[in-house]
Structures are given as structure tokens and as C-alpha cells.
Structure 1
Amino acid sequence: MGVKVSVIVSVRNPGAAADAGIRSVLEQSLPPDEYEVIFVDDGSAEPFAARLDALAASRPNVRVLHLEPTGSPMRGRNMGIAAAKGEYVYLLDQGDRLEPDALARMYARAVATEADVLLGRLVREESGPQTAFGINRDRADILRDRLLTQLTPHKLFRRRFLADHDLRFPEPGGALAECAFVLRAYLSAKVIAILADRVCCHVAARARPSDDPETIAEEVRALLDVVDEHTVPGKLRDRVYAHWLRVAVLRPFTTRRFLTSSQNRGVLFTTLRELVLERFPPHLDSHLPVHLRAVAALLRAGRLDELCLLAGTSRGVRMRAELHGARWDDGVLTLTLGAEIVDADGSPMRFARSRDGRLFWRPPVNAPILPPDLADVSDAVARARLSVHVRHAETGVTYALPATGGVTLLRDSDPDARREDGVDDTVRVRLEGEARLDPCTAALGHPLPRGLWEIHVRAHGGAYRASARLGAAEDAIDCVGTVTEYPRRLVMPCWTRNGELAVCVEPRSYAESIALVSQGVSITRRRGHLFVVVPVPYVPPSGGPAVELVLRSRSREVAVPALAEPGIPGRMTGQLIAKVPVRRLPAEDCLRPGRWSPSLRVDGREVDLRFTLEMSLLNRVRLRSATLPAAPAPSGSSRARRVWRRAALR
């Protein structure tokens, strides 16, 4: 049987960073005679180059191409493709890592779908959820499946397809050289398939591309020439053009660098304004988010000062997401959520509402930037929705959760809100919804792997798209764990060290399961003792092992038994109660003035808990959380601040 897949790995003095990636391509489940690995070495120093030669000498399916250094992987990729023998080729960078069965799965899927290009599910260190991998696709669409968000070369390409269309990477290539290659492949392919239900490749963090305005403009022109060559005027061309207008041309005007460097600001403005006037007609602006429509309008009008003002006042706009409740329904965790876009100062974003009910974006600068038809966000708000996904804290793997909900318009109660001609009032747009997490099927029909899964929320529609982690309203979450039917595992909601919602699948120990919810601790002083009550999310049928609460302060240690008792129905399955002696004067095995760090000791092993105790010289004991949410406490009344602090300790 011939070679099924040729893996082409671009390397240049990677050091130890390439070790995991090299092992991953050498230890594939495909038999060695069914795939080959071609290392394309861009002038590495002798130690690493010799190591590659040693690998090739010991493995018949490994080859090495040594090149003169160019500083770019593009020439090496072209030479690797030309030397490949496989039916398909897969491109990797140093530091990337394949799953053990990735080549076998991708090849089988590509053959079954007769794909020219196949996208296997990626995990990127520096990015969030990737909507292109929401579902397996036999026939993927560039627009519907958001393939323009997947323009790195980590794909399976049919080698004959590349040859027939003379697809090569530009040499030496710039920041958008990979994008140009992949975009040309998308537009030339008869069949593009997606393998979404299994992770195939972990993509390492990549170097930041050049942001020289003249280089960007030149490469964008080349990309648009590719689009013109492979499309006809219409929806597809307009949407692809709008994508590059958004990510390569307008986005730089929203960055901190644009605001802080006056010299680079002028060059950027002049160069990209010329590009916009030349290649991006105004009718494309309707495909942009409304704040980028304003950037495009100011850029075309040559209004640099107002563009700087818009960028400055828009920075810090974000989404604030809240958890209102969490409950288990037949083994499915149901989360009740709310979210709202807020300005940099934390105040809710407001939209103008006309007398006929249409909603309009109100720019943060006091200038008529957009005509009414482009400022109208009524349809976008009507389509607004919440999307929720889980992300593995260690691997970065993400999966979308089913979510439902809708939009609520809240009439503005601010008496100082601006009123304009034709505007009846101003409103806030609030998103409400529910998300359901089934631990047995959340990984695209498969059980969630073991570990800590963070909960992330995104808002789509209206004036902005934004994402956030989940904070909590008071009493929003219980810490009850549940045991899934198949496979049988403990799954429990908890708080991360940053005070944000997560779900732990199969904690490593009984003590760890308690530590994850230990922010819910409470203390009571009574008759010379401190009673420390720690919630227990799940009590084994046996009642659990013997547990000690250990408190340490510098070189001192106090250890007392922690006894399990029934918990609060619907709130926690159990609680550990430890009775700690308290003395103002020095005494053995007693709490004394100082800061005490707690842990649980079970079977001789200890796990740190997420709170601390502080005892003052006046014999007063205070409870402090070791973890607080990243967001600052809101301004306002002292009562509001107290509510926020209590929520942070949950």
C-alpha cells in the first residue's frame, strides 16, 4: 500500500519546544509504512540538524530536507510538498502537536468525503472557541462554516489537488502568505470537509506578524486579487472582502498602539485610507459591526482626530456576564445566565430608540459619524443571542453548549440620558438565557474528558460581539455534585482561583473535590473555639475517609479532626465541621494571633483550601478568601459593595 499522508514539519532551531511535536508525529496510530514525516530544516544549528539526521537514519518513514536559512517557512513548505509521496499532505510548525490517532482519523474522513481540503479540529493556545468546528461537515461552506477564521496551514490537502491548481506559498512570504495559500485552496476546492468531533492538532502560540502599514496594504491587495480571480461579483466576494476589511484594515485603528504612537498613527492612517478608497467600496460596510462601520466612515472622510477620539472612548467596552442560578436536571447542569455590553466605566451601553421602535447605535463621540441606515442596529439586536462553551483549563479544548434565550429591552432610567430629534428614549439591551451541560455528551456526543472545564459566555448581535467569564449573583450556585450514569464519574460545579464558574469532571481525590468549593466556608466563634464549616459537594456511600483540618502560620501548625455531617438539602450534600481551640496567649494546638493557611489532610496527603483565617491581637478571627474575581468591585452604595464581596467569597 502506498503512502497515505505526508506530514511536512517546518523547523528552525526550536530547542526543546519541538520535542512533544516530534514525538507526536512519530507515534501515530497509522502504520509507519502508510505515512511519512518530512522535516524541512531552515538552516538550524548543527546539534539540532544532527538530531534530525539521526531520526531519519533510524526510521525509514522519516526524511530531512536541509535548506539555507531564509527566516521564513514558505520556501521549505513548497519544497516539502514537492518532495512528498503521500496521497495527502499535512502541514505543521515546530511546537505543534498531533493527537495519536489524528492522521488515521483525518485520512479516513478525507477519503470518505472525497475532500480536496480537510480541516481537523484544532486547539490553539492563544484563542477561544472556534465556530468552524461546531459539527462534522462533508461539504463545508466558506461563509456558513466560517472557514475564513481558519487560515493557518494546519489542514489535510490532497497532493494532486495542489499540483493541478499550482498552489504554492508565496516566497519569501509575509504576514498574510499563509492566508493567501489557504484562501486560494478554499476557493479552488470542489470539496472541503470538517472533522470536528475529535481534536486532531494542538497549535502552538505563533509569532506576532508584521504590522508595518505598507506591508499590510501590499499583502491585502494580493489577497483581494486572489478573491477577484476565483469569484464573481456578488455575496461571496463581498463577504470575503468585508472579512479582510474588518481584520486587516480596520482593526488596527482600535488598538492601543494606534492611540499611543503619533508617528506610526499617521503612516497607518494615510496608507490604509488609500487602500480603503482604492479597493473597499462603501456598500461593504453593511457587513461590519456597527462600531467598525464608524471607523470605516471616518477613515474614508479623512477625519483622523475623530478616529483617535472614537478609538480612545471605545477601548474598554466589554461584556458583563452573570450567573443567576445553577441546578441539576436529570444529570444535566442547567445554567441561568444574563449578559450586557458595558462601557469602559462599567455603565450599561445605551441605544437610541426612535418613535417607530427602531434602535440606533449611539457613538461615544459627540459627532454624526454614521447615516441612520448604517447606525440602525434593530435587526442585529433582534438576532442577538448568548452562546456558551466550556474550555479545558489545561489543554484549551473547547466545546459549545446548547443554549436558549432572548433579548430584553430595558427602558433607560437615567434622567441625564441624551435625547435627540426623532428619538423617543434610550434603552439597554440585555440578553437572558439558559445553557445545558450534559457531561456525558458535551464533547460533540462524547463524555467530557477528566479535568477542570471553565465556563465562557459570548454575546452576538447588537453593536458589539464580546466574551466573558461568568461571575455570580449572590446564592447563584449550589455545590452539589452528581455521579453520571455512563461513565460513572463525579461531576461538580465549582469556582476557579479567579472566582469564576467552572465544572470539574472526576476530581483527583475526595479532598480535592472539597477544596474546589472551599470558598463557601463559614466560621462561628463559640466558647473559646472556632467552628470552621467547609461544604462537601459529594459524600461517598461509605461516608468518606477520615479528614483532618490543618492550619499553618509560619512555623506553627494546628491539626484537628473534621467531622462529616449532613448538608443543606438542595445546597450541599454534606459539610465538614472542625472545632479549633482559640487562645490569645501562646498555647499548643491552639489558634493564636496571625495569618493561618488551611489544608485538608486525608490518608497522609494534603490539599490546600481556598481561604485564609486571620486572628488579631484582640482575639478576633476574620475569614478571607484566597481568590477574588478579576473585575473590580462596583462603585456605589456600601450595601452594593458588601453584596459584591459576599458573592466573591462564594
Structure 2
Amino acid sequence: MRQGLKVSVAVPVGNAGPASDSFDACVRSLLELPPDEYEVIFADDGSTDGTRKRLDALAATRSNVRVLHLDRTGDPARGRNAALSVALGEFVFLMNAHDRLEPGALQRLFERAKETEADVLVGRLSGDGPVAAAFTRDRDRADLLRDRLLTAVTAHKLFRREFIETHQLRFADRALSEQAFVLRAYLSAKVIAVAAGHVVCHVAPSGEPEPGDWDLVAGLSAIMDIVEAQTEPGVQRDRIAAHFFRSVALRRLGPPFLGLPAERQELLYGHLKAITAARFPQTLDTHLPVHLRARAALLRTGDTKGIVDLATAAQGTRLDAELGDLRWEGHVLSLTLTAELVAADGTPMVFAADGDRVWWVPPSRVDRLDPALREITDAAEEVRMEVYVRHSETGEMHFLPVTGELRRLPVEGGVRLRASGDARFDVGTAAFGRPLDPGVWEVHVRMRGVNPARTRVMRPDKGFTSAGMMAEYPRRLVVPCWSDKGELSVCVEPRSFAESIALVSQAATVSAHDGAVFMSVPVPYVPPNGGPSAELVLRRVGGKTVVAPALIEPGEPGRFAGQLIAKLPSGRGGLTRGVWRPKLRMDGSLVDLRFAVETQRGRAVVRSLETPRPPTGWKRMVASLKRRYGML
């Protein structure tokens, strides 16, 4: 091993695209690594688009970059194995060609792995998926089940190279090889540590096609071979097996199953029924969420119609999160939330109850499930609401502290299960005690227990404050805001005063009287100097532009927003009939406001950019005639 080489980074590459922004970002992030401490191994899978030449040119100028030339297979497994075979670092980190390494991340991982003597170090990732349950805190000695490591089974981890060679860990040439590799590593390691405090890698979608039905079953069978070879009969084996039964096999029989052609449904069902009979005994079902117990029972009995009926009934079932209050408590934003499972029509799910005992009520078309498997008393006791924030650009996620309770609400026919609580959003400490990065952070809610689900927090009918607050550490503006779809986010450190106003501008109001249109737009925070002068610029669809000066009135930080007020002339020379898009001009730049104004016949209304404008004038008349004479 080359003296002092800390980490080898293995990257399988196949036709990454010489003009790919994501591949460029990947390469740039790797070139920032100190060349005397880290090496980068690109395993090129027979690229034909110029990627190979680019990598060779890179290796010719960088002493720590190596390129392995492989024949085309289309599978990253071979490239990963080739890189593992030639790696020289004390540790190996695995990533893909369109992922991006966070600056300084490998150094932190290396130090933590040395400190904890870890064979496998699980670092925090960011991407489009939900935040993995394994990343709630750092762990020096992580447990596979207690710390929910099976929620983090991608290859993006730091592995001790000696550990990999001792156990001859390699990626198999089959479906689910990544999950199988990581599972073998988890079960073989003496020490697994978790580094949750910092994002290590920004993970892009793999772009790999879904495996075929038979390939999927073969990969799942190989995973069960690992489980049975490396665990003893008992609860641990059953829980691991139940996890893969749920996440790989039963997941395929949910609502997406309905979109498959009949012959594909029959084929997939047959493959999954066969492997269920061979590898997943009924004793596992107690470790499944209750709705999946029904799916497993129907699978075992060969009831294809029951599977279709259950999937049909499950379509549209979702988590509904309601915002009860949004308020500033000092420099902390407090959110009062409730969350409850609802059916496709929006009605709350009702569970059967007898005293303290609770049962899931299956759809009327699927009522053959053993009552013992329908009981969810223990699961109902564990129902809890979790709140996390996700950066809209980087995908970085962090949980917020939540205090709450589960309430059983008696209704006709049973009880409803509603979780409620208060989440505290402190931008100075939300990133594991560190300040959050600037940008827009989406607010997400998920509920664990009976039927795990997640959702965004939507804007309620009643208004909430648009007031921002200057956080104390570090001192910067924080603004609660809503997307054009009505989803709650919080912007940390808007790029400009004008942008802070644009973030909350959907709450604008307009009125028309005395030959003018009066417009008021919330201002989340007004600096002590009052801010720069402002103008509203409204452009009508078709080309006409109207400009008017705007007055900014301060509010009270954290309590109520200020407002930007403008008076615009109407009629000839001003706002004529039509739809107008407003912009805010400050400091010589124009910022789009997030609403439209429609004016006609002496009135003006605010239109959401998400809401289509109703037909006016002759278009309305034509639509009316069509309805009247059956032409629609």
C-alpha cells in the first residue's frame, strides 16, 4: 500500500456523457481530494461517447487518478469489483458517476472510522428519496435492527479494505447485488458506525432499469441465502427476512401492480408466489405492517383477484398533515401539526376497537385475513409523527425535534388514530447542532406505526403570518413561505430584500375603486433603514407595461408582516382589462412576484399561478353555448 494513502474512491462509469453537468460535478468533487492521501479509480464500462478519452486525459495529468478499461456489460457491478481488486487505500469509498462528493467529507469519514475502529462507516447521503431512518444521530456501535441500518443499503459507504479482502466481499452479477453486498458487509462487520452529522455524498438517481420479474426473484433468493448463512434462526433472522419480503416482493403488488398488463400481472404474481412459498414462512407476517400482512396472505393463498382488489382499495390512501399554527417563539419557528391516514376520498381511516385493543378493517372485498393478524394494538401504541426539512436544491435532510401524542378519536364503527405535536425549527442548530445552509427548506411530515407514510405540509384555508425573523446565530433572515402548489417551506437567508418579498407574495391582495387598483404585498421583514426604494412593474399578456412607485410599511418581526403598497391607475393609460404579471424593481433589478392580477369591468382579483384563469369575454360565451347545446 502506498504510504499514507487513506481512501480509494471507486467509481464505475459507463457512457457518462462528456457534456453531462452531473458527471462534471462528480469529477470536480473528486479532483478536490489531496492527491497524496486519496486515489480515484474510474472503472470504465466500455464507454463509446468520449468518456474514456476524457478519463485517460485526466489520468495523464493527475497522479492519483487511475482508469480501468473494461469491456461493455452495462452493469456497474463488474466495475466496482475491478476497482476493489486494485484499490490501495486503507479504506474504500463507493459512489456512482453522477454523484457528487461533499468537500471535506472523506476526511471526516476517515477520522471517524479510525476513531471508532469501524469496518463499515455509514455516512449521511442526500438525494430525492426520504431521509433514511439510520441518520437520526451519530452511532459508534450501530446495531443492524435497532438503528435501522437496512434503510441504508446503497453502496455509498466507507469500507475498511482489509475487511473487504478478509471476507471476499464482491458484487454479484445479478439483480439486487448492491443490497446483497451491503447486507453481507453489515452481517460480517465487527463494528459498524454511523456518521449522521454531515452530508457525505449527493446521490443522483441511478438510471438503471428495473430488473425483470425472474431476475428480481433470483436476486431476492440470493439475499435470503445470505440471511440464512449468516444468522441463526430467531427474531433477528425473521426481521431481516421480513424487511426484504416487504421492500422487494410485496412492494411490487401495491397500486402500481394495477397498471401492468394482465399477462404481466399473472407472471409477476406467479414468480412472487413461488419464492414466498420457498423462502418466506407465514411466521414472518407479524413483523409486517398490517396492510402488507393482508397482501402476504393473499399471495400465499393464490388469490390474484384479492391482490387486485386490495391494491385498488389502497389507491389514493395517503397521509394528511394539517398545520394548526405557525408562530415565532423567540428565534425559533414553532409548527403545530396533526397527521392522520385518509382514504382516496379524503375521509379518515377508521379502525375497529374493543377497549384498548385495535384492529385494522380490511376492504370489504378482502375480508379473509386472520383476525389475529389484523390486530394492531401494539403498532398503534408506537404511532408517532416525525417532521423533517429537505433542502430544495441539494436534497440535504434533517429531522426537527417534535413533542406530541397519539389520540384515539371515537367515531361510529371504531376509532380514528390522529398524531399531533409541535415541531421546533431552529435554523441555528437544526443541522445536528450546526446552522442550516442558506436556501429553501421544504417541510415534510411522516408517520410511523400502523401504515408508514409521508407527505408535505399544505397551506390551510385560513391565513398564517408571513412575518420573518432575524435568527441570532448566525444573524440572517428566516422566512416561512409557500410553494406555488401551496406546500410549506422555510427560506434561510434570501438572496435579496426583493426575493424575501417574492417568497410570500402569493398572499397579495388587490382592490379596484375610484379609477385605480390598489395592491398590497406582504413584506416579511423590513430592515431598520427601511430598505431600498421600490417600484411595481406590471406587464399584460400581449405587451403593455404599467409602472408605479411602491411604499413599504414595516411590521413587527416575528409577529406580523409589513406591507408593500402601490396605487396603479386603471382604464386607458393604466391597467386595462386582461391578465397582468407583476414584478418588483429594487436596486436596479427585477424580481418576479408569484401571482397574477386579472382586471375587468372595474374590478381586480389575484390569481394563483397554479390556477387556470376562467374564460372571459367571447371565450366564455362560446363555452356557454357549447354546454347549452351539448357540444362539450
Q: Deviations over 1:243-272 (max 9, x none)?
A: 111011111110424453210111112221
The answer as to whether partners of 2:43 and 2:67 remain within 8 angstroms in 1 is yes
Tell me the TM-score normalized by structure 2: 0.93
| Residue type at the aligned position of 2:577 | P
Q: Summarize the alignment of residues 86-105 of structure 1 with structure 2, pairs less than 5 Å apart.
A: 86-105=89-108
> 1:207, CA displacement in angstroms?
2.6
Equivalent position of 2:437 in the other structure: 449
1:593-604 aligned within 5 A: 593-604=577-588
- State the partner residue of 2:496: 509
1:398 has 2:397 as partner: yes
Equivalent position of 2:539 in the other structure: 552
Q: CA deviation at 1:570?
A: 6.5
- State whether residues 408 and 429 of structure 1, in contact with CA within 8 Å, keep that contact through their aligned partners in structure 2: yes
Matched, 1:362 2:366: no
Alignment partner of 1:624 is 2:607? yes
Give the corresponding residue for 2:271.
271
What's the counterpart of residue 35 of structure 2?
32
Aligned to 1:157: 159
Aligned twin of 1:433: 421
Do the aligned partners of 2:525 and 2:554 also contact (CA within 8 Å) in 1? no
Aligned to 1:13: 15
| Contact 2:258 2:312 (8 Å CA) reproduced | no
Deviation readout 1:400-436 (Å, 9 max, x if unpaired):
00011112222225xxxxxxxxxxx322222211100
Superposition pairs of residues 300-339 of structure 1, within 5 angstroms: 300-339=300-339
Deviation at 1:568, TM superposition (A): 7.4
Question: Partner residue of 2:83?
Answer: 80
Check conservation: 1:536, 1:572, Cα contact below 8 A: no
**Distance (Å, rounded) in 2 between the aligned partners of 1:536 and 1:408:** 38
Counterpart for residue 143 of structure 1: 145
My pick for the range that moved more, 161-170 or 471-480, is 471-480
Equivalent in the alignment of 2:599 = 615
Residue 278 of structure 1 aligns to a residue whose secondary structure is helix
How far did residue 281 of structure 1 move? 1.1
Mapped to 1, the partners of 2:558 and 2:43 lie a distance apart of 59
Structure 1 Cα separation of the partners of residues 391 and 158 of structure 2: 25
Q: Answer yes or no: is the 8 Å Cα contact 2:29–2:101 preserved in 1.
A: yes
One-letter identity of the residue aligned with 1:428: R
Give yes or no for contact 2:459–2:482 (8 Å, CA) kept in 1: no
**Unpaired segments ≥5 residues, structure 1:** 414-424, 630-650
Q: Which amino acid aligns with 2:465?
A: D
Asked if the contact 1:313–1:365 (Cα under 8 Å) also holds between the matched residues in 2, the reply is no
Question: Which residue in 1 is equivalent to 2:459?
Answer: 472
**1:557: Cα distance to partner?**
1.0
1-structure distance, mates of 2:227, 2:291? 26
**Paired residue secondary structure (1:475):** coil
Structure 1 residue aligned with 2:516, among 524, 529, 539? Answer: 529
Q: Distance in 1 between matches of 2:464 and 2:610?
A: 17
Distance (Å, rounded) in 2 between the aligned partners of 1:626 and 1:213: 43
In the alignment, the residues of structure 2 paired with residue 479 and residue 485 of structure 1 have an alpha-carbon distance, to the nearest angstrom, of 19
User: What do the CA deviations read for 1:574-603 (whole angstroms, capped 9, x no partner)?
Assistant: 1111111122xx2x2x11111111111101
Tell me the distance in 1 between the aligned counterparts of 2:97 and 2:125.
15
Aligned equivalents of 2:341, 2:373: Cα separation in 1: 20
Q: Residue 53 of structure 1 aligns to a residue in which SS?
A: helix
Give 2:327's aligned amino acid.
R
Q: Does 1:109 align with 2:92?
A: no
Which amino acid counterpart does residue 256 of structure 1 have in structure 2?
Answer: P
Superposition CA RMSD, Å:
1.6
Shift of 1:6: 0.7
CA distance in 2, matches of 1:490, 1:246: 44
Q: What is the SS of the residue equivalent to 2:462? A: coil
**CA spacing shift, 1:476–1:432, aligned 2, 3 Å:** farther
User: Structure 1 counterpart of 2:158, which letter?
Assistant: L
Letter in 2 for 1:55: L
What SS does the corresponding residue of 1:32 show, helix, strand or coil?
A: coil
Report the CA distance between 1:136 and its aligned residue. 1.1
Aligned to 1:417: none
Partner Cα separation in structure 1 for residue 345 and residue 471 of structure 2: 43
- Structure 1 residue 492, shift from structure 2 partner: 1.1
> 3-state SS of the aligned residue for 2:27?
helix
Q: Note if contact 1:138-1:193 (Cα within 8 Å) is conserved in structure 2.
A: yes
**3-state SS in 1 of match to 2:379:** helix
User: What is the aligned length?
Assistant: 606
User: How big is the shift at 1:124?
Assistant: 2.0
**CA contact 1:175–1:209 (8 Å) conserved in 2:** no
Alignment of 1:65-76 (within 5 A): 65-76=68-79
1:220 has 2:220 as partner:
yes
Shift of 1:571: 4.8
Structure 2 residue aligned with 1:540:
527
Give the aligned partner of residue 378 of structure 1: 377
Are 1:56 and 2:63 an aligned pair? no
Structure 2: segments with no counterpart, 5+ residues: 613-632
Q: Specify which of 454, 461, 475 is matched with residue 488 of structure 1.
A: 475
Against the structure 1 CA distance between its residues 572 and 275, is the aligned structure 2 distance closer, same or farther, given a 3 Å change threshold? same
Shift of 1:504: 0.5
Distance in 2, matches of 1:628 and 1:128, equals 29
2:485 alignment partner, SS class: coil
Contact 1:455–1:469 (Cα < 8 Å) also in 2: yes
**Residues 550-587 of structure 1: per-residue CA shift (max 9 Å, x gap):** 1111221111111122447975231111111122xx2x
One-letter code of the match for 2:177? A
Q: CA deviation at 1:392?
A: 0.5
Q: Is the 8 A contact 1:385 1:460 kept in 2?
A: yes
Q: Give identity over the alignment, percent.
A: 51
Distance in 2 of aligned mates of 1:319 and 1:285: 23
CA positional deviation for 1:226: 0.7
Q: How far apart in 2 are the matches of 1:46 and 1:351?
A: 57
> What is residue 420 of structure 1 aligned with on the other side?
none
Deviations 1:590-633 (A, max 9, x none): 111111111111011111111211112x222222122469xxxx
1:340 alignment counterpart: 340
How many angstroms apart in 1 are the aligned matches of 2:397 and 2:528? 33
Worse overlay, 448-457 or 257-266:
257-266
Provide the residue aligned with 2:170 in structure 1. Answer: 168
Q: What is the rounded CA distance, in whole Å, between the counterparts of 1:237 and 1:450 in structure 2?
A: 44
TM-score by length of 1: 0.91
- Cα 1:510–1:304, aligned 2, differ >3 Å: closer, same or farther? same
| Aligned twin of 2:575 | 591
Match for 2:561: what amino acid?
Answer: T
Q: How many Å separate the matches in 2 of 1:23 and 1:345?
A: 49
Letter in 2 for 1:558: V
> What is the alpha-carbon distance in structure 1 between the residues aligned to residue 232 and residue 67 of structure 2?
42
Per-residue Cα deviation, 1:156-196 (whole angstroms, up to 9, x for no partner): 111111111111111xx122111111110110000111111
Any residues of structure 2 matched to 1:554-593 within 5 Å, and which? Answer: 554-567=542-555, 571-583=559-571, 586=572, 588=573, 590-593=574-577
The equivalent of 1:261 in structure 2 is: 261
2:590 to 572, 597, 606: 606
CA–CA distance in 1 between the matches of 2:74 and 2:567?
Answer: 65
SS of aligned partner of 2:225:
helix
